[in-house]
Amino acid sequence: MAATLAQWLKARCVMAMHAPPYGSGHAATQLWLMGPDGSSPGGTVRTLAAHCAEGSWSWHASGAVQDLEEPERYGERRIRDRFRREDLVRYLERVGVRVDDGRFFGRADAFRHEWVDRG
C-alpha cells in the first residue's frame, strides 16, 4: 500500500526493518526505497537486505545506489557486516526518520513517517 500511495503522490517512500539475532540463527536488516521513478511494478527504487535464517546469511541489493548510502561497506566479507543496524539508522536519519529519538514517535507502538522527495 505504501508503494502505491507513493506512486499516486509522485513521491518516494521508505520502509525499513531490523530484527536483532533471535532464535536459532535468525536476524535481518532491510531497507526498501519506493516511488514513481521505480522500475518494478511496485515502484521499487532500491532494496538492501542482510538476512539470516537458520544461521545462514544472505545478501541482496538491487536498484541504483542512492546518495544516502555508504556502498563501500557492501563488500565486507561477512554478510552481517555489510548492512548493520547502525547503517540503517544513518540512512533513515538522512531521509528525516529519527528512529532512536523517542520524542520523534511520541507514545506509539507503531509509526508512520512521511518523506516526500519531489525533486
Cα 8 from Cα 85, distance rounded (Å): 30
Residue 114 maps to a domain: no
* Identity of the residue numbered 97: V
Residue 66 maps to a domain: yes
Residue 115 maps to a domain: no
Q: Which domain holds residue 49?
A: 2-105
> In this structure, what are the phi and psi dihedrals at residue 53, rounded to the nearest 5 degrees?
-130, 130
What confidence tens digit (pLDDT) does each residue in 42-77 have? 788 999 999 999 999 999 999 999 999 999 999 999
Residue 36 maps to a domain: yes
Cα 30 from Cα 21, distance rounded (Å): 14
HSE-up of residue 87 (Cα within 13 Å, Cβ side): 18
What pTM value is reported for the model?
0.80
Residue 91 maps to a domain: yes
Residue 117 maps to a domain: no
Q: Picking from 27-41, 75-89, 95-109, which range would have the lowest pLDDT averaged per residue?
A: 95-109
Cα 89 from Cα 98, distance rounded (Å): 8
- Count: domains in the chain: 1
Residue 50 maps to a domain: yes
Residue 10 maps to a domain: yes
* Identity of the residue numbered 93: E
What confidence tens digit (pLDDT) does each residue in 5-44 have? 666 677 788 889 999 888 888 999 999 998 887 776 678 8
